Amino acid sequence: MTLARFVRKNAFRNKRRTLLTVGSMAFSLLLLSFLMCVWRAFYVDQGSAESAQRLIVRHKVSLANFIPGYYREKIRTVPGVVHVVQVNWFQGIYRDQKPENFFARFGTDPEEFFATYKELSIPADQEEAWKKDQAGAVADKALANKYGWKLGDRIVIQGDIYPVKLELTLRGIFTASVPNNALYFHWKYVEEGVPFAKGHAGTFGILVDSPAHVNAVASAVDQMFANAPEPTKTETEKAFQLGFISMLGNVKAFILVISLAAVFTILLVTGNTMAMSIRERTREVAVLKTLGFRRETILGLFVGEAIAIALVGGIVGSLIAILLLKGASQAPQMGPLFSVAAREWRFIAPVVWLVAGVAGLLSSAIPAYGASRKGIVDGLRHIG
Amino acid sequence: MAIPISYNVRNMVLRKGLTLMTAMGIALTVMTAVFLMMLLAGMKKAFVKSGDPLNVLVMRKGSTSELAGGFTKDKLPILTALPGIAKGSSGDPLVSGEWVVIVNLPRKDGTGDTNVTLRGMGANGLELRKNVKLIAGSWFGAGQHEIVVSQSIHSRFAHTGVGDMLDFGKGQWKVTGIFDGGGTAADSEMWGDVNQVADQFNRQNALGSAYLHATDPLAADTLKHRVADDQRLQLEGMLETEYYDKQTSSGAPIRFMGYIVGLTMAIGSIFAATNTMYAAVAYRSREIATLRVIGFRRGSILLSFIFESVLLALLGAAVGIILMLPFNGMSTGTSNAVTFSEVVFKMQITFAVVLYATIFALVMGLIGGVAPAWGAARRDILAALRD
């Protein structure tokens, strides 16, 4: 019998216990994988190549303050700027105020919108139709599917920030690798209905000619308006999105604390199981020693067993995590975030397995060392 | 006859290591759950306890937050003339026209800027909010570039001490005082004179919202409807309490995360507890058989082991809750999903948090204990004695 087979046999001698341990570890490691994938999606992922080439301009004070619409032409003069387009948060109410009927609605300029947001693809004829119809709108495919919208459908949005009822006609449906679940329409339509909306912009999206020039353009834009009555803050799309996440609170610390708790739980669980199974084998260890097995070998047998059990737990946990993440990417609101998180899984899974292996090693080291040191006679006398 | 409790306690003491490790596992799960519940409890208090049921908040029709408001100033006298509004100390009706704006301030700990609510209020604004107490300095002066800040903002943001100058809008603002909002939404705000605030943000001749203080709850309800029915106004009234009630949805992401994390860790802990209880049963199989021989019934043995598991879980819960006590009162912030600005609140261990945490642990102990206890009670006496 080889040592590896011995370890395997021992690991499954008490099937129920091994299964419960693997289950317990799998759930802790599931949590760890899930949280770390989300963490990577937040803080490490840099977004698509197009996104890295884009800047968002907003009022320096906050998103709730407007910037003048004429800034657009001024921004266009900055070297490196290819396209500028306003993207204004309209909010409003579709059908009713229920959270499931909430999605992002923006007013923009169709002439430059798809040129700036290159990763959104739309058939050319639909884009043309949208440009021509001032009451026209385009929607994300995932969003259109959710409500069963077809080209030519009427979509009525009741304004709240802007007191106007938008009666839109769907002129196009665009697709993106990561669905953005948003509806876009002509800002001009809002301006005509609401006098105070005229010449107002919430944010501008800028497409820069190359990712290398992004920082230079950002500071050039902010400098241009530094002493204007409405100063601006220009940041990359990713930084802009992170701003929203930081509003949730200290998410980084939050994830860290819960991950630590999960790791400690794993240590306790494996430690507990190994202590139990080693104790009940005290007599066997003495027999092994009598047969001539060395201390190191016995130590290795137990540690190997713990690591094997922990690894199985880790693999099961991370597999459930990817299933959950894939499932969550279909969710209507947080979906895009989870689909990014699911993409990060391939980086996280090996780390989680490593954590599982190290936890197995650490938790078995002390009881296994104790067992390997116990005198043969004491061991043989031991009554389980 | 039931098996004495001391039997279980002694057994747990006998296997200290095992008991402690399992209890610690449950304690960690309970700690995580308590942490999340404390966050939610504090946040709920910040919204639910906010608002005076006698205050009627008036905004433009269709508007869902004070930020999205905006109506012309000439509507204020019409509102003031409505019946059922209480009189203030000066004899005027208690009405305050207000503007709420968002300003961006740097956090004290250097983790970047965040949005803070600045509320400009009319002359009666302070009298409308009786629950708020000044704890340092003085209130802002009418017509002055002065603001008062809440205690939570004072502790979280730079340059917010009495006498400090804050830079936002079109210039510098002097901080004249610090107030205590008593855990309500006011704790996330800075207050100043409405005309100054409107001027700073180019919103003269308009108001974002108005507050009317009714004489009694019935009058408040009537006022609310009168505002909505008056065709001249095109405004909408709601009780201040109703307004804040709607904003509790800001806690939704944390609650969602809490359920996922709590449930996952609980399942892991139940497996671990089951494991420990199986081991406890296995070690004692001869003992259990002896108990049966002495005359204890199967039911007693089943109960006794379930009880032991629950005891183990409760020990874990106690450790978990005690370890979380130092976090009580820690102030933290999240963003209000309606106004884009930071809501400051204190984490709180309430009776409900302790109760839920205990029930949570109890359920873990129960589920973890049932199968092993069932196994213990069902074992054949002769086979067990021969073990």
Question: 10 Å Cβ neighbour count for B239?
Answer: 21
CB contact under 8 A, A99 and B249: yes
pLDDT, greater one: B241 or A170? A170
CB contact under 8 A, A27 and B271: yes
Confidence of residue B333 (pLDDT cuts 50, 70, 90): low
Average pLDDT over residues A47-61: 83
Question: Is the model's pLDDT at B27 over the cut of 60?
Answer: yes
Average pLDDT over residues B102-116: 77
A63 touches chain B (CB under 8 A): yes
Contact A55, A221 (CB under 8 A): yes
With 0.90 as the threshold, say if the pTM is over it: no
Confidence of residue A383 (pLDDT cuts 50, 70, 90): low
B333 touches chain A (CB under 8 A): yes
Tell which B residues from 129 to 148 touch A, by Cβ distance under 8 Å: none
The residue of B19, B20, B21, B238 whose CB has the most chain A CBs within 10 angstroms, and thus the best one to mutate to test that interface, is: B21
Partners of A28 on chain B (C-beta within 8 Å) are 264-265, 268
Measure the CA–CA gap between A320 and A33, rounded to whole angstroms: 9
CB contact under 8 A, A97 and B261: no
CB contact under 8 A, B29 and A265: yes
Q: Which of B25, B35, B341 sits opposite A269 (nearest CB)?
A: B25
Measure the CA–CA gap between B266 and A159, rounded to whole angstroms: 44
Measure the CA–CA gap between A307 and A362, rounded to whole angstroms: 9
A246 touches chain B (CB under 8 A): yes
Question: Is the model's pLDDT at B202 over the cut of 60?
Answer: yes
ipTM over 0.95: no
Partners of A241 on chain B (C-beta within 8 Å) are none
**Mean pLDDT: which of A125-139, A271-285, B305-319 is highest?**
A125-139
B375 touches chain A (CB under 8 A): no
Question: Is the model's pLDDT at B110 over the cut of 90?
Answer: no
Q: In Å, how far is A247's CA from the nearest CA of chain B?
A: 5
Residues whose CB falls within 8 Å of the CB of residue B218, separated by 6 or more in sequence, listed in order = none
In terms of CA atoms, which chain B residue is nearest residue A24?
B268
B77 touches chain A (CB under 8 A): no
For A222-277, what is each residue's pLDDT tens digit?
Answer: 999 988 878 888 998 888 877 777 666 667 777 888 888 888 887 787 787 777 77
Rounded to the nearest integer, the mean pLDDT of chain B is: 83
CB contact under 8 A, A248 and B31: no
Q: In Å, how far is A325's CA from the nearest CA of chain B?
A: 12
**Which neighbouring-strand residues pair with B171?**
B168
Q: What are the sequence ranges of the domains in chain A?
A: 3-46+249-381, 61-230
Confidence of residue A316 (pLDDT cuts 50, 70, 90): very high
Confidence of residue B314 (pLDDT cuts 50, 70, 90): very high
CB contact under 8 A, B169 and A268: no
Q: Which of A23, A60, A272 sits opposite B104 (nearest CB)?
A: A60
The radius of gyration computed from the CA coordinates of chain B, to the nearest angstrom, equals 29
Which of A92, A200, A187 lies closest to A137, judged by CA?
A: A187
Q: In Å, how far is A226's CA from the nearest CA of chain B?
A: 13
3-state per-residue secondary structure call for A50-71: HHHCEEEEEECCCCCCCEECCH
Tell which B residues from 263 to 322 touch A, by Cβ distance under 8 Å: 264-265, 267-269, 271-272, 274-276, 278-279, 283
B89 touches chain A (CB under 8 A): no
In terms of CA atoms, which chain A residue is nearest residue B387?
A384
Q: In Å, how far is A310's CA from the nearest CA of chain B?
A: 13
Measure the CA–CA gap between A170 and A136, rounded to whole angstroms: 6
CB contact under 8 A, A258 and B261: yes
Average pLDDT over residues B87-104: 86
Give the dihedral of Cα atoms B232, B236, B241, B243; nearest 10 deg. Answer: -140
Average pLDDT over residues B368-375: 86
Q: What is the DSSP letter of A198?
A: T
Question: Is the model's pLDDT at A364 over the cut of 90?
Answer: no
Residues whose CB falls within 8 Å of the CB of residue B16, separated by 6 or more in sequence, listed in order = none
Least-confidence region, from A27-41, B93-107, B327-341, B361-375: B327-341
Least-confidence region, from A202-211, A349-358, B338-347: B338-347
Partners of A367 on chain B (C-beta within 8 Å) are none
For A6-46, what is each residue's pLDDT tens digit?
Answer: 888 888 888 888 888 898 889 888 988 988 888 888 877 76
A229 touches chain B (CB under 8 A): yes
CB contact under 8 A, B22 and A196: no
Measure the CA–CA gap between A196 and A325, rounded to whole angstroms: 43
Partners of B28 on chain A (C-beta within 8 Å) are 261, 264-265, 268
**Mean pLDDT: which of A166-170, A301-305, B24-28, B208-212 is highest?**
A166-170
Which of B223, B181, B208, B247 lies closest to B68, judged by CA?
A: B208
Q: What is the DSSP letter of A95?
A: S
CB contact under 8 A, A24 and B271: yes
Tell which B residues from 200 to 229 touch A, by Cβ distance under 8 Å: 201-202
In terms of CA atoms, which chain B residue is nearest residue A229?
B170
A199 touches chain B (CB under 8 A): no
Which two tokens mark B69? 């408001």
**Which neighbouring-strand residues pair with B147?**
B175, B192
Q: Which of A20, A246, A249 sits opposite B275 (nearest CB)?
A: A20
Q: Which of A246, A247, A271 sits opposite B21 (nearest CB)?
A: A271
Measure the CA–CA gap between B314 and A248, rounded to whole angstroms: 32
Contact B31, B324 (CB under 8 A): yes
The percentage of residues in chain A with a pLDDT greater than 90, rounded to a whole number, is 34
Partners of B60 on chain A (C-beta within 8 Å) are 163
For B265-281, what is each residue's pLDDT tens digit?
Answer: 888 888 888 887 887 77
**Which neighbouring-strand residues pair with A25?**
none
Which of A346, A345, A352, A361 lies closest to A259, judged by CA?
A: A352
Average pLDDT over residues B231-260: 78
Tell which A residues from 344 to 373 touch B, by Cβ distance under 8 Å: none
CB contact under 8 A, B274 and A158: no
In terms of CA atoms, which chain A residue is nearest residue B345?
A249
Average pLDDT over residues B135-140: 90
CB contact under 8 A, A265 and B67: no
B31 touches chain A (CB under 8 A): yes
Partners of B112 on chain A (C-beta within 8 Å) are 246
Average pLDDT over residues A156-179: 88
Measure the CA–CA gap between A263 and A355, rounded to whole angstroms: 8
Partners of B32 on chain A (C-beta within 8 Å) are 258, 261
